[in-house]
C-alpha cells in the first residue's frame, strides 16, 4: 500500500544520502590537494618566468656586445620573445579556464547543498504526512467501530419497539374496549337505576363512583406507561439516528482528509524525484568539470614543457660565449 511505497522511497533517499556524504568527503580531499597543487604550480610558473626573463635580459646584454652575431641574436631573441609571449598567453588562458571551472564547480556544489537541504525537508514532510495518514486511518477505524456499535443498538431498540408495539396496540384496544364497556355499563346502570330505584350492588353512590374512578385511573396509568415507553424508544431511535449521521459525516471527513494526504504524498514524491533527477544532472556536470580541469592541468603542464624547451633552444642558439658574457 501507500505505507510500503513511502518506506521504499525513504530507503532510496537514505541510500542516496549516504552516497552524497561519500562524494562530499572525496570532494573535500580533492580540494585539499588541489589547493596544494595550484600553490606549487604557481611557484614553479613564477620561478620559470623569472628565469626566462633573466635569460632574456642576459641575452639582451650579450646582444649589445656580441658584434657579428648581433643581428642573428636579435632575430633569435625576437623569435624567442614571441614564443614566450605566446606561451605566457596560453598559460594565462589555461589558468583562466581552470579558475572558471573552479567557480562553476563551486556553484554546482552550492546547488547540490541546496538540493540536499530541500531533500531533507521533503523527507520530514513525507514522515509527517505518513504519521497523519496513520492517525486518520485509526480515527476512521474507531468511527466505524462506533457506527457498527450504534447500528447494533438501533437494531436492538427497533426490536424492542416492535415487541412493545403489539402490547401497546393491545392495551390501547383494551382501553378502548373498557371505555366502550364502561359507557355501556354506565348506560345500563342508569337504566337499572331507573327501573330499580335505589337498589344497587354498591352500598352508596359514592362507593360506586369511587370504584369507577379507581378502574379509570388503573387503565389510564397502564396506557400512560405504555405511551411513555413508546416515546422513550422513539427518542432513543432519533438520538441514535442523529449519532449515526454524525459518525457517517466524520467518516466522510476522514476519508476526504486521507485522500488529500495521499495526493500530498504523491506530489511530494514527484518533487523528490524531480530533485533527484536535477541532482544527478549536477553530479554529471561536476564530473565533467573534474575531467575538464584535469585536461586543463595537462595542458598547463604541456605549456610548461614547451616553455622550458624554448628556453633551452634560445640558450643553444645564443651560444656559450654569449651566455657566458663573452664578445666575439
pLDDT computed for residue 323 by the predictor: 46
Region 307-314 average pLDDT = 71
Q: How does pLDDT run across 135-158, given as a tens digit for each residue?
A: 666 766 776 676 677 667 667 766
- Higher-confidence residue of 277 and 105: namely 277
What is the average per-residue pLDDT within 108-133? 71
* Mean pLDDT of the residues in the chain: 71
Given this model, what pLDDT does residue 193 score? 55
Instruction: Give the pLDDT of residue 174.
Output: 65
Q: How many of the other CB atoms lie within 10 Å of CB of 279?
A: 19
Tell me the mean pLDDT in the region 201-226: 78
State the residue for C-alpha cell 467501530. Answer: 145
Distance between CA atoms of residues 188 and 184, nearest Å = 6
C-alpha cell of 29? 580531499
Q: What is the pLDDT of residues 172-203, one digit of tens each?
A: 666 666 666 666 666 666 655 555 544 455 67
Confidence of residue 325 (pLDDT cuts 50, 70, 90): very low
Share of the chain above pLDDT 90, in %: 0
200 phi and psi angles, rounded to 5 deg: -155, 160
Mean pLDDT within 16-22: 73
Above 80 in pLDDT, residue 106? no
Q: Is 197 exposed, middle or buried (0-12, 13-18, 19+ CB in 10 A)?
A: exposed
Mean pLDDT on 305-323? 64
Q: What pTM was estimated for this model as a whole?
A: 0.33
Residue 266 in this model has a pLDDT that exceeds 60: yes
pLDDT-derived band of residue 35, with 50, 70 and 90 as boundaries?
Answer: confident
pLDDT > 70? residue 245: yes
Kindly list the distances between the CA atom of residue 199 and the CA atoms of 56, 193, 194, 303, in Å, as whole numbers in the listed order: 166, 7, 10, 152
- More confident: 202 or 303: 303
Amino acid at each position: 500500500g501507500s505505507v510500503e511505497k513511502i518506506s521504499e522511497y525513504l530507503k532510496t533517499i537514505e541510500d542516496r544520502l549516504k552516497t552524497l556524504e561519500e562524494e562530499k568527503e572525496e570532494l573535500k580531499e580533492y580540494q585539499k590537494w588541489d589547493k596544494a597543487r595550484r600553490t606549487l604550480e604557481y611557484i614553479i610558473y613564477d620561478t620559470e618566468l623569472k628565469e626566462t626573463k633573466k635569460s632574456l635580459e642576459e641575452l639582451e646584454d650579450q646582444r649589445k656586445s656580441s658584434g657579428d652575431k648581433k643581428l642573428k641574436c636579435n632575430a633569435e631573441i625576437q623569435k624567442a620573445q614571441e614564443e614566450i609571449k605566446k606561451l605566457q598567453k596560453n598559460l594565462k588562458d589555461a589558468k583562466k579556464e581552470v579558475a572558471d571551472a573552479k567557480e562553476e564547480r563551486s556553484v554546482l556544489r552550492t546547488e547540490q547543498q541546496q538540493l540536499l537541504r530541500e531533500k531533507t525537508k521533503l523527507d520530514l514532510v513525507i514522515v509527517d504526512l505518513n504519521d497523519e495518514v496513520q492517525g486518520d486511518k485509526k480515527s476512521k477505524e474507531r468511527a466505524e467501530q462506533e457506527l457498527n456499535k450504534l447500528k447494533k443498538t438501533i437494531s436492538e431498540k427497533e426490536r424492542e419497539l416492535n415487541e412493545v408495539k403489539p402490547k401497546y396496540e393491545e392495551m390501547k384496544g383494551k382501553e378502548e374496549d373498557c371505555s366502550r364497556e364502561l359507557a355501556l355499563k354506565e348506560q345500563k346502570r342508569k337504566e337499572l337505576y331507573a327501573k330499580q330505584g335505589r337498589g344497587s350492588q354498591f352500598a352508596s353512590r359514592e362507593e360506586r363512583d369511587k370504584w369507577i374512578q379507581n378502574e379509570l385511573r388503573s387503565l389510564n396509568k397502564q396506557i400512560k406507561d405504555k405511551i411513555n415507553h413508546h416515546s422513550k424508544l422513539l427518542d432513543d431511535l432519533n438520538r441514535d439516528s442523529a449519532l449515526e449521521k454524525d459518525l457517517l459525516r466524520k467518516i466522510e471527513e476522514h476519508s476526504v482528509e486521507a485522500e488529500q494526504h495521499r495526493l500530498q504524498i504523491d506530489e511530494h514524491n514527484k518533487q523528490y524525484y524531480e530533485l533527484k533527477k536535477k541532482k544527478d544532472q549536477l553530479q554529471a556536470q561536476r564530473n565533467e568539470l573534474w575531467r575538464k580541469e584535469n585536461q586543463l592541468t595537462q595542458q598547463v603542464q604541456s605549456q610548461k614543457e614547451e616553455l622550458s624547451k624554448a628556453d633551452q633552444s634560445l640558450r643553444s642558439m645564443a651560444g656559450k660565449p654569449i651566455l657566458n658574457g663573452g664578445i666575439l
